[in-house]
Amino acid sequence: MQNYRTKLGRLGDPEIRVNSLKHKREGQGKTAANIKKPRKAEVYYVPLPPKGESTESLETERVALLSEIKKRDNEAVIKAKMERTFSHRRLEIVEQRPMIRDFMNRWPALFKESEVNAEFLRITTKPLQAKFLAQLDNLTDKLMKILEGSKGAKGQKIKDIMAISSLKKGVQEPEDVGVVIEGTTVMNNLGSVIMAFIVLFGLIYALDLSYPNDLKYTFEFCQKILMNLDGQRLSTKMQQMKLKMFA
């Protein structure tokens, strides 16, 4: 296996390249340091570039995208160029870990609802919005019963939140709902809180972000139970949740 990986590295395989010693940051001069690998069931974590393309040609396509996004009714061209530059964009994200503001300047086309859905599909091979909403519809009643039965301080907190939510039924959504990452508003006018959450979930995959510590179980539920991404490996809490939901 080591020989196989060595040969792949010599051929320029991107997943091998990002973990080679010469691509590690200063102070991480060990092969085991800061290993970059799929952690959320990504099928295409660092994909190969399209046949016949190089880093230089894909960078030219990226620059062309900056002009195309300024044109009206140009979704088809943008979609094709985003598809073609997927490997280039993905390697940049995984290898360089750019700041969100800098990445938005380089890849503004990604920060559209349609492209977040497309990027999620490229990474996981699963549709984001359609599957998320369908699964949520299927499981909401069971989930609500479980939450209503929660006890202790956490259970009371859940009941308080649900009581507030019930009082707000029929109230219109806020005028503007968006997503903020690293203090930067990356998307707005998303229509509803649930759509903003779905987009945030998609952006976590698209930008290879870690789940926030205080919401890790929420996102694990979304990933492994709702979306069935790596659904066979669950934390103890999610195992208990799944048993309750599907008992």
pLDDT tens sequence across 89-105: 999 999 999 999 999 99
pLDDT at 29: 53
The closest of 144, 138, 83, 130 to 109, measured between CA atoms, is: 83
- Total tally of structural domains belonging to the chain: 2
Question: Does residue 175 surpass a pLDDT of 90?
Answer: no
Do 182 and 232 sit in the same domain of this protein? Answer: yes
Structure tokens at 196: 């903003």
| Residues 173 and 226 reside in one and the same domain | yes
Residues 87, 150: one domain?
Answer: no
Residues 81 and 26 in one domain: yes
Last residue of a domain, one of 89, 124, 159: 124
Let me know whether 70 and 28 are in one domain: yes
What tens digit of pLDDT does each residue of 186-224 get?
999 998 889 999 999 999 999 999 999 999 999 999 999
Least confident of 8-22, 192-206, 224-238: 8-22
CA-nearest of 242, 239, 98, 64 to 182 is 98
Residue 172 lies in domain: 129-246
Do both 133 and 231 map to the same domain?
Answer: yes
Residues 143 and 241 both lie in one domain: yes
Note the pTM of the prediction, 2 decimals. 0.84
Q: Is the pLDDT of residue 8 over 60?
A: no
* Percent of the chain residues topping a pLDDT of 70: 79
Q: How far apart are CA 99 and CA 85, in angstroms?
A: 19
